[in-house]
Structure formats: structure tokens, C-alpha cells
A and B are shown apart, each in its own frame.
Chain A
């Protein structure tokens, strides 16, 4: 049941990405190009999503458990550290170079030729590299320091 619901939400999320224009890299770069011919459309994506999301988080905060019975897994971390900022900056550079972030890249695999595959395979390789670096002895200690 959990997987069925996850599949439906993934499908809906993907349809939303396509409809919104997020899965078109040229549109994403048009949004990020504030000094050129700027396309502000994608600000509306964030606006619409956060509007609905805000209500959902209000509801979720009142519930100890999700509707299908699992515990609510809402992150509680509050630490603003170097990892968070440097990670965000690194992601932003990649996003600006290609115009893809993770969701749109996956949504484009079935219909977008070889380019989204190049990006997505490299992205998963980058994630795997992170996992390897995290397992190097001492990585956690350095992280706290």
C-alpha cells in the first residue's frame, strides 16, 4: 500500500514538473538568467507548491502517525553548517550549468533522448561518490569539527 501510494505521488509529482515547465532545461536557465532575457515563470511553480505544502505540513504537525500507519518522518535538524551551504552551492552550480535538478532529470529519461541519461547517470555517480566519501574512516569526525 505504501509503495502504491508512493508510485501515485511520484506520477503526480512528475506530471506537475512537466506541466510547470521545470522539465525544460532552457526554461530553467531562462529563469536563472536574471541579467539576460529573464523568464520569471518558475517562481510560480515554487509559489503553488509551497502554498499547498504549507497546509500539508500544518496538518502533518498535528499527527503522530501518517494515514497508512507509519511514523511521520519530518526532519528535525536545525544546524546550519558548512556542509549545508557548500552542498547547496555545489548543487546550484550544476543546476545552472545543465538546467536539470534531480526530479526533472528523472522525468525526462523516457522522453528526452540521451542527454537526460548522461546527466542522471552522472548524478547517481555523484551520489555514490558521496556515500563512499562518507564511509572513509574519519569522515564523520571531520564533519563534526
Chain B
């Protein structure tokens, strides 16, 4: 194993993680809701009365986050290596998988582990392992 020291950013990653934790804490304590993104978006596809507004508001907040970030600091550069076809396949897998598995990185990884849920621990282990395996195959077997 070789560490990518050039792109190692423990400080900003920890600070970003704390902000995610604070947002999760606020939504939980004020609204009684879990900040699980796939659950929030998925819930819009089975709309229930009185359960739509807060979901749209949260998603709107997420979408507008770059504008808020940009007021304080320039947006960090990002790079997407996957091409269009891979992105579509990946999106479908993420959509179906997060709904079948009842959560994603935020719902199981942050909320579930914070709440000490054994279900979320299993789900997090499953998506992490699959992520490691997929990148291994793409980068070192096929690539």
C-alpha cells in the first residue's frame, strides 16, 4: 500500500465531516428526521401528505451548497474520470441499491453508525467492500 500524500487532506476532510455531523444533528434534533440522502430523495417518489416540503427544501439546500461555499472560498477543483455510459450505469446501480439496502453513505454510514445500528454497520461494510472491489477491478484488473 502506497499513501497518496500529495492529495492527503486530513484537516479539511475532518472539518467537512464535522459540518456534515452538525447538519445531521440539526435535522435529527429539530425535525426528528434522518439526514439520509437516498431516503430523502427516494421518499419524494412515494409522496405522502405533509412529507414532501421538507424533503424538497433539504435537496434544494444541497443543490445550492456550492453557491454558499463560493461566497466564502473558491470551489475546490473536481475531476470525474468516468465517461457518460459508466456514469449512467453507476447511477442506476446507486439508485436501485440504496433503496433496496435502505440507505447510502449518509443514512447508513453517518446516521446509522452514529446511532449504533448493527444493520447500518453491515450495510456500510457491504458498500465499502463492494467499492474497494470495484475500484480494484477497474484500476488493476481491467485497467
Where the two chains meet, the residues of A that have a C-beta atom closer than 8 Å to any C-beta of B are 2-27, 29-30, 32-57, 59-60, 63, 65-68, 70-75, 77-80, 83-103, 105-112, 115-116, 118-131
Contacts and interface: CB of A to CB of B under 8 A. Distances in A.
A82 to B, nearest CB: 9
A109 B41 CA distance: 15
A21 B82 contact: no
B17 A93 contact: no
Secondary structure type dominating chain B contacts:
helix
Interface string B15-26: 111111111111
A35 B140 contact: yes
B80 A56 contact: no
Contacts of A122: 87-92, 95
Contacts of A116: 80
B98 A91 contact: yes
A19 to B, nearest CB: 4
Interface residues of B, number: 113
A47 B18 CA distance: 8
Secondary structure type dominating chain A contacts:
helix
The 4 residue pairs across chains A and B that have the minimum distance between CB atoms: A126-B95, A87-B101, A10-B61, A14-B65
Contacts of A89: 97, 126-127, 129-130
- Counting chain A CB atoms within 10 Å of each CB, the highest count among B10, B130, B138 belongs to B130
Interface string B22-48: 111111111111110110011001100
Interface in B111-130: 111, 113-119, 122-130
A131 B26 CA distance: 29
A120 B68 CA distance: 21
Interface string B60-86: 111111111100000111111110101
B104 A102 contact: yes
A47 B13 CA distance: 9
A39 B4 CA distance: 5
B119 A91 contact: no
B130 A90 contact: yes
A13 B26 CA distance: 10
Contacts of B105: 22, 95, 101-103
Contacts of A75: 34, 102, 117, 119
B115 A2 contact: no
A63 B8 CA distance: 39
Contact of B140 (A14, A24, A36, A44): A36
Nearest to B79: A26
Given A66-B31, A125-B91, A74 B115 contact: yes
